[in-house]
Amino acid sequence: MYKIIKKEILNPAVTKMVIDAPLIAKKAEPGQFIMLRVDENGERIPLTIADYDREKGNVTIIFQIVGATTEKLNRLNEGDNLHDFVGPLGKKTETEGLKKVAVVGGGVGCAIAFPVAKKLHDEGVEVHSIIGFRNKDLIFLEKEFAEISDKIFVMTDDGSNGSKGLVTDALKELLDSGEKYDEVITIGPLVMMKFVSLLTKKYNVKTVVSMNPVMVDGTGMCGGCRVKVGNETKFACVDGPDFDGHQVDFDEAIARTQMYQQFERKAHEDTCNLYKMEVK
Amino acid sequence: MATINKSLVKNEMPVQPADVRNRNFSEVALGYTKDQAIDEARRCLNCKHKPCIEGCPVNVNIPDFIAEVANGNFETAYQIINKTNSLPAICGRVCPQEKQCEAKCVRGIKGEPVGIGRLERFVADWHIANSTTEPEIPKSNGHKVAIVGSGPAGLTCAGDLAKLGYEVTIFEAFHLAGGVLVYGIPEFRLPKHIVQKEIDGLKKLNVKIETNMVIGKILSIDELFDEYEFKAVFIGSGAGLPMFMNIPGENFKGVYSANEFLTRINLMKAYKSDSDTPIHCGAKVAVVGGGNVAMDAARCAKRLGADVTIVYRRSEAELPARLEEIEHAKEEGINFNLLTNPIEIIGTEDGWVKELVCLKMKLSEPDASGRARPVPIEGSEHKLSVDCVIMSIGTTPNPLIKNTTEGLATEKWGGIITDEDGLTSRKGVYAGGDAVTGAATVILAMEAGKKAAKAIDDYIKSK
Ligand SMILES: Cc1cc2nc3c(=O)[nH]c(=O)nc-3n(C[C@H](O)[C@H](O)[C@H](O)COP(=O)(O)OP(=O)(O)OC[C@H]3O[C@@H](n4cnc5c(N)ncnc54)[C@H](O)[C@@H]3O)c2cc1C
Ligand SMILES: Cc1cc2nc3c(=O)[nH]c(=O)nc-3n(C[C@H](O)[C@H](O)[C@H](O)COP(=O)(O)OP(=O)(O)OC[C@H]3O[C@@H](n4cnc5c(N)ncnc54)[C@H](O)[C@@H]3O)c2cc1C
Ligand code: SF4
Ligand code: FES
- Surface of A (191-230) touching B: CB under 8 A: 216-217, 219-224, 226, 228
Residue A237 beta carbon below 6 angstroms from any ligand 4 atom: yes
pLDDT tens, per residue, chain B with 463 residues: 568 888 889 999 999 989 989 988 989 999 999 999 999 999 999 999 999 999 999 999 999 999 999 999 999 999 999 988 989 999 999 999 999 999 999 999 999 999 999 999 999 999 999 988 777 888 999 999 999 999 999 999 999 999 999 999 999 999 999 999 999 999 999 999 999 998 998 999 999 999 999 999 999 999 999 999 999 999 999 998 899 999 999 999 999 999 999 999 998 988 887 888 888 888 899 999 999 999 999 999 999 999 999 999 999 988 999 898 999 999 999 999 999 999 999 999 888 999 999 999 999 888 777 778 899 999 999 999 999 999 999 999 888 899 899 999 999 999 999 999 999 999 999 999 999 999 999 999 999 999 999 999 999 999 8
Is A233 in contact with B350 (Cβ distance < 8 A)? no
Asked if B260 contacts A216 with a C-beta cutoff of 8 angstroms, the reply is: yes
pLDDT at B86: 86
Q: What is the pTM of this model?
A: 0.92
Look at residue A160 and tell me whether its pLDDT is greater than 80: no
The whole-number pLDDT of residue A134 equals: 87
The DSSP code for B260 is: H
B256 CB within 8 Å of a chain A CB: yes
Closest chain B C-alpha to A64 CA, distance in angstroms? 18
Q: Which among B263, B274, B276 is the nearest to A216, CB-wise?
A: B263
To test the contact with chain B by mutation, choose from A66, A85, A222 the residue with the greatest count of B C-beta atoms within 10 A, namely A222
Render chain A in DSSP notation, one character per residue: -EEEEEEEEEETTEEEEEEE-HHHHHH--TT-EEEEESSTTPPPEEEE--EEETTTTEEEEEEE--SHHHHHHHT--TT-EESEEEEEESPPPP-TT-SEEEEEEETTHHHHHHHHHHHHHHTT-EEEEEEEESSGGG--SHHHHHHH-SEEEEEETT-SSSEES-HHHHHHHHHHTT---SEEEEES-HHHHHHHHHHHHHHT--EEEE-----SSSSSSS-TTEEEETTEEEEHHHH-SEEETTTB-HHHHHHHHTTTHHHHHHHHHHHHHHHHHHH-
Residue A280's pLDDT is what? Answer: 42
A20 close to B (CB below 8 A)? no
Q: In B, which residues are within 8 Å of A240 by CB distance? A: none
Amino acid, res. A211: M
Residue among B173, B219, B260 whose CB faces A224 most closely: B260
Q: Under 8 Å CB-to-CB from B283, ≥6 apart: which residues? A: B305, B306, B307, B387
CA distance B264 to B184: 10
- Asked if the Cβ–Cβ distance from A222 to B259 is below 8 Å, we say yes
d(CA B312, CA B331): 18
* A256 lies within 8 A of chain B by CB: yes
Interval B129-158: pLDDT, tens = 998 877 788 899 999 999 999 999 999 999
Compute the average pLDDT of residues A187-202.
94
pLDDT > 60? residue A279: no
Of ligand 4's listed atoms, the one at least distance from the Cα of A235 is 4
The pLDDT of residue A271 is 57
Q: What is the pLDDT of residue B255?
A: 95
Q: In this structure, which residue's CA is closest to atom 2 in ligand 3? A: B105
pLDDT of residue B136: 81
